[in-house]
Amino acid sequence: MTARLRVLMVCLGNICRSPTAEAVLRHKLAVAGLDGHVEVDSAGTGSWHVGHPPDLRSQQHAQRRGYDLSTLRARQVSEADFDRFDLILAMDEANLAELVQLRPAASRAELRLFAGRPVPDPYTGGPAGFEQVLDQVEAASEALARELTRRLGTS
Ligand code: 4NP
């Protein structure tokens, strides 16, 4: 099946927030019956972790809620992403500002904050930060799945 809409989740490292958002949104879309209709990917504005799996803490907190992040690998956002993806969703204002800078003038991709407010970077904090990421990402993914159901119809 060819995807009718493509969504890219973006954070700084692509090892904590955006891979979590990628896996959770995939799950919520499957529940909504939209898997196969929407392509979901994630990337980072930075290049430090390219090729790495998600941070072990993100993997472990996500696993406890039933999400498997282990097969994901970090990559950096590229200009080509602005052609490929319809919706590019930033985790925080700094990620969004970077994306605005990178965006080619001809891109028609819609850029915005994923959760409507920042999803704070959990990298240098404790376990509560990783739980907060999951709480915010689950709520925002459910809202996005509802939005995409409306946009695409249920067929
Ligand atoms: P993320 O978290 O942007 O949610 O993947 C971070 C991971 C690594 C770094 C920063 C944020 N870092 O500076 O290495």
pLDDT in tens, 29-48: 999 999 899 999 999 999 99
pLDDT recorded at residue 154: 53
Q: Is the CB of 112 inside a 6 Å radius of any atom of ligand 1?
A: no
Contact in structure between 91 and 11 (CB atoms under 8 Å): yes
What domains can be seen in the chain, in order of their start residue? 5-152 (3.40.50.2300)
Q: And the tokens for 41?
A: 């990917």
Known catalytic residue at 75: no
Rg (CA), the chain: 14
Q: Is the CB of 121 inside a 6 Å radius of any atom of ligand 1?
A: yes
Q: How far apart (Å, rounded) are the C-alpha atoms in residues 92 and 105? A: 22
Residue nearest to atom 11 of ligand 1 (CA): 13
Q: Is the CB of 17 inside a 6 Å radius of any atom of ligand 1?
A: yes
Known catalytic residue at 16: no
Torsion region of 126: left, alpha or beta (phi above 0 gives left; psi -120 to 50 gives alpha): beta
Across the chain, mean pLDDT equals: 96
* Whether the model pTM is above 0.85: yes
Question: How far lies 77's CA from each of 44, 102, 105, 154, in Å?
Answer: 6, 9, 16, 31
- The model's pLDDT over 48-76, given as tens digits with 9 standing for 90+, comes to 999 999 999 999 999 999 999 999 999 99
Residue nearest to atom 7 of ligand 1 (CA): 13
Known catalytic residue at 6: no
CA of 12 to the centre of ligand 1 (A): 5
Q: And the tokens for 127?
A: 């376990």
The residue type at 129: G
- The model's pLDDT over 99-154, given as tens digits with 9 standing for 90+, comes to 999 999 999 999 999 999 999 999 999 999 999 999 999 999 999 999 999 999 85
User: Which of 10, 11, 12 is the pocket-test mutation for ligand 1 (most atoms within 8 Å of CB)?
Assistant: 12
